[in-house]
């Protein structure tokens, strides 16, 4: 298999951006490119996470994308200026308001905000429990506590990774859904609907693991049980709403089976 053939086109469109836990990184061009950039910076003695370095990378990536778009448009006989002129006639504000006013989007925003608050509350509680376990480990067995802390730390990382992503993916899913309902062209309608299903499937997968994470947090500390229960209820409502509104997300498969 050649390098070009091994990459799955658009695999990164419906991922959760958690590369460390993804089994498809060898077939993802974005992951390959990011690793190449990391190696280049390290070979130069640069910190790849330094903001000045990051901004330079973003600028280079944007320039590369624009060159590709311009070349492809020219080959297809597409007038980019015409597309820009036509886009000015689209009432994007109305479309955005339509998405953000949807009950599902509002509930996802609520989940994001409350989850962020829970994570902030959890940090000092976790750190205190960890310090206490370390101090007592010198003279007593704290193996069970250490295992519980490991589980909570895992739950924290899962929620911290997901809670913004769910809101973003649900907004995109709703946008695709509305586009499919308004579109007259069958191909564009199917494409919008498929994109909505793909985005919804990412949000749904995140919610499934977030509910498990919230349950672990609920069982760990009584101080945050009420908050964890509230978030579990919100997550369940969102999951059911997604499956009802875009049922294709349940069976959506990505990457596509070969």
Half-sphere exposure at residue 16, Cβ-oriented, CA atoms within 13 angstroms? 25
Query: Are 203 and 166 spatial neighbours (Cβ–Cβ below 8 Å)?
Result: yes
Map out the domains of the chain as residue ranges: 3-87, 95-251
Q: What is the pTM of this model?
A: 0.72
The candidate with the shortest Cα–Cα distance to 206, out of 230, 178, 174, 239, is 239
| Radius of gyration of the chain from its Cα atoms, rounded to whole angstroms | 22
More confident residue, 40 or 116: 116
Dig out the tokens for 190 from the structure: 């199917």
- What are 68's two structure tokens? 């590709």
Measured CA to CA, the distance from residue 155 to residue 210 in angstroms comes to 8
Identify the DSSP state of 102.
Answer: S
Closest CA to 96 of 108, 83, 86, 105: 105
Q: What is the per-residue pLDDT across 188-234, written as a single tens digit (0 to 9) for each? A: 888 889 999 999 999 999 999 999 999 888 888 778 888 888 899 99
CA distances from 103 to 71, 73, 124, 174, 238 (A): 41, 38, 33, 11, 10
**How many residues would you count in the chain?**
258
Task: Round to whole Å and give the CA distance between 244 and 87.
Answer: 32
pLDDT of residue 55: 63
**What average pLDDT score do residues 76-104 get?**
64
pLDDT tens digits, residue range 78-91?
A: 665 654 455 455 45
């Amino acid at each position: 298999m050649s390098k070009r053939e091994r990459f799955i086109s658009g695999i990164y469109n419906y991922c959760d951006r958690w590369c460390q836990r993804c089994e498809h990184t060898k077939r993802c061009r974005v992951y390959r490119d990011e690793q190449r950039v990391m190696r280049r910076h390290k070979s130069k003695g640069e910190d790849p996470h330094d903001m000045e370095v990051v901004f330079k990378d973003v600028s280079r990536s944007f320039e590369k994308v624009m060159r590709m778009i311009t070349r492809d448009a020219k080959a297809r006989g597409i007038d980019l200026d015409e597309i820009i002129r036509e886009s000015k006639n689209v009432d994007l504000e109305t479309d955005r308001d339509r998405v953000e006013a949807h009950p599902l989007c509002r509930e996802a925003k609520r989940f994001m905000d409350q989850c962020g608050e829970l994570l902030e509350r959890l940090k000092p509680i976790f750190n205190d429990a960890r310090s206490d376990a370390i101090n007592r480990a010198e003279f007593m067995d704290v193996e069970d506590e250490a295992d519980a802390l490991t589980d909570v730390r895992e739950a924290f990382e899962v929620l911290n990774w997901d809670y913004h992503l769910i809101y973003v993916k649900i907004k995109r899913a709703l946008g695709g859904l509305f586009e499919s309902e308004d579109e007259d062209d069958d191909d564009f309608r199917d494409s919008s609907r498929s994109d909505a299903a793909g985005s919804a499937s990412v949000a749904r997968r995140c919610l499934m693991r977030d509910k498990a994470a919230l349950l672990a947090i609920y069982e760990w500390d009584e101080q945050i049980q009420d908050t964890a229960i509230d978030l579990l209820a919100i997550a369940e409502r969102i999951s059911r709403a997604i499956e009802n509104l875009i049922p294709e997300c349940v069976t959506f498969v990505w990457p596509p089976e070969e």
